[in-house]
Amino acid sequence: MATAQAWIPSILGYALMFHLYYTLPASNSSYKYLRTRRHQTFPIHATVLYRTEQARETRLKFLICAIASAWAKSWMFNREVKPALSEEPSDEDEDVKDETRHAESIDLSSLRKHNLVAKKLTKYYGKNLAVNQISFTVADDECFGLLGVNGAGKTSTFKMLMGDETISSGDAYVQGHSVKTHIRRVHEHIGYCPQFDAIFEELTGRETLQLFGLLRGLRRELITARALILADKLGFIEHLDKQVFQYSGGNKRKLSTAIALLGSTRLVFLDEPTTGVDPAAKRQVWRAVRRTTRAGRGVVLTSHSMEECEALCSRLTIMVNGRFHCLGTPQHLKNKFSEGFTLTIKMSVSESAPMSEQVDVVKDYVTSNFQEPKLMEEYQGLLTYYLPDSTMAWSQMFAIMERARRVCSIEDYSIAQTTLEQIFLQFTKYQRTDNI
């Protein structure tokens, strides 16, 4: 009895320790890498703790608690609430449907030929559906963009693909290896830049790259050479021998990107690689990403910047509430969703008549030559029109405006298609914000 009483506090102590280890979110420290990878690193931690315990009885208590908490954890996962998934929405975009059909039609024997295939990938956090049955493929030398505002489900998608979060339903295959059943093989083929830098603050940039290179199984000389090239191309070579805690947020993102690109993996996941990076440095990161795809490696990139996706992605999708709402090349999306053109006219200053009269002449001209033009803005001789007729040919529009230049006081003008940014805003206005 007395022995049982003596066991209770220590068992409770260990149980609490395991519970915290599994459930607390990763803190912002150098320990973070281990914590974000806790499912992989747990056996190492447990072994170290076990070896430090001397008394046989304490070791026994420790083992009982480790086994019990691991069992409890897997039991908790298995009883995860998974509400029934809704049927495929009937209003789903045709391109998204085509991609879904294509991904789901790839049979087991052909999966090996594809870099990445996701089939009905789904993530529930309790009852919150974060990723809703997404299916897509990523080819070699393709940069596939997941574009969406906060809470759209981009990071959850990566976490499932990296085995950091369980997959609620569906599966994904990296060069034929299932994420659900062969996550170790999957890791060998992916370079990953997580959204929040998971790097050791005490190491220098060079040591960090060396460490991750060795973990990847690269030779030392190769790592040294690649680290230099990557630091140079990404623009942090002058900080290479500084400790990471001295790095700015932008330089940490560059280092994380370098870690992802370091191995010669055929697939690279970049979760918001340029968040916090200044505009000039952003371009350096973009060039590095372009070089990666040119070298025949597939990249999946998340971003909230349409400009970034337009610059880098061969195909992109806009993700809202865990679903894809459109998918295709940037130009395809522009053609499909652009709802007309923007016409900007700059008036020339002329002595012959007052400015207001000249502006009226231009307004009459535009109204009589375009279908239902809408004056969006008028400011100091600058007129911005929205032209809703998307069927009008470019040549016709330019011919009209060239004629206008001859008959009105116009210094300059420009006609532009609706931007991808406008398309993005149109889709993302439906993103839920209640659970972010």
Q: Does residue 435 interact with ligand ADP by CB under 6 A?
A: yes
Name the CA dihedral angle for 62, 67, 70, 71, rounded to a multiple of 10 degrees: -140
- Which residues, 92 to 111, sit near ligand ADP by CB under 6 A? none
Give the nearest distance from C-beta 421 to ligand ADP in angstroms.
18
Q: Using CB under 5 A, pick the residue from 155, 175, 284, 292 that binds Mg ion.
A: 155
* Residue 153 touches which member of ligand ADP, Mg ion, none, C-beta under 5-8 Å by kind: ligand ADP
Give the nearest distance from C-beta 154 to ligand ADP in angstroms.
4
- Which residues, 150 to 209, sit near ligand ADP by CB under 6 A? 150-156
333-354: burial string, b at 16+ Cβ within 10 Å, e else: bbeebbebbbbebebeeeeeee
CB nearer to ligand ADP: pick between 156 and 284: 156
DSSP-assigned letter for residue 271: E
* Residue 265 touches which member of ligand ADP, Mg ion, none, C-beta under 5-8 Å by kind: none
Q: Using CB under 6 A, pick the residue from 8, 48, 81, 436 that binds ligand ADP.
A: 436
Separation of alpha carbons 243 and 266, rounded Å? 30
* Residue 103 touches which member of Mg ion, ligand ADP, none, C-beta under 5-8 Å by kind: none
- Which residues, 200 to 259, sit near Mg ion by CB under 5 A? none
Beta-carbon count within 10 A of 278 CB: 11
Burial of 121 (0-12, 13-18, 19+ CB in 10 A): buried
CB nearer to ligand ADP: pick between 131 and 227: 131
Give the nearest distance from C-beta 195 to Mg ion in angstroms.
5
* Residue 148 touches which member of Mg ion, ligand ADP, none, C-beta under 5-8 Å by kind: ligand ADP
Separation of alpha carbons 221 and 79, rounded Å? 48
Give the nearest distance from C-beta 60 to ligand ADP in angstroms.
34
169's CB contacts (< 8 A; 6+ apart) are: 82, 85, 120, 122, 133
* Size of residue set near ligand ADP by CB under 6 A: 13
DSSP of 119-153: EEEEEEETTEEEEEEEEEEE-TT-EEEEE--TTSS
Give the nearest distance from C-beta 270 to ligand ADP in angstroms.
13
Please give the residue whose beta carbon sits closest to Mg ion in the complex. 155
Burial of 115 (0-12, 13-18, 19+ CB in 10 A): buried
The 3-state DSSP class for residue 298 equals strand
CB nearer to ligand ADP: pick between 270 and 387: 270
Q: Does residue 419 interact with Mg ion by CB under 5 A?
A: no
Nearest to 11 by CA among 81, 47, 63: 63
- Which residues, 160 to 199, sit near Mg ion by CB under 5 A? 195
* Residue 30 touches which member of Mg ion, ligand ADP, none, C-beta under 5-8 Å by kind: none
Give the nearest distance from C-beta 349 to ligand ADP in angstroms.
49
CB nearer to Mg ion: pick between 162 and 387: 162
Give the nearest distance from C-beta 36 to ligand ADP in angstroms.
11
Which CA distances in Å does 6 have to 11, 49, 53, 67, 117? 9, 20, 17, 20, 54
DSSP of 339-384: --EEEEEEEPP-SSS-HHHHHHHHHHHHHHHSSS-EEEEEETTEEE
Two tokens, residue 134 = 């997404």
Residue 303: in which H helix or E strand, if any? strand 298-303
Give the nearest distance from C-beta 256 to ligand ADP in angstroms.
15
Q: Does residue 148 interact with ligand ADP by CB under 6 A?
A: yes
Which CA distances in Å does 308 have to 98, 145, 267, 275, 301? 25, 9, 19, 11, 10
CB nearer to ligand ADP: pick between 313 and 401: 313
- Residues at the site binding ligand ADP, with contacts judged by CB under 6 A: 125, 128, 130, 148, 150-156, 435-436
- Residues at the site binding Mg ion, with contacts judged by CB under 5 A: 154-155, 195
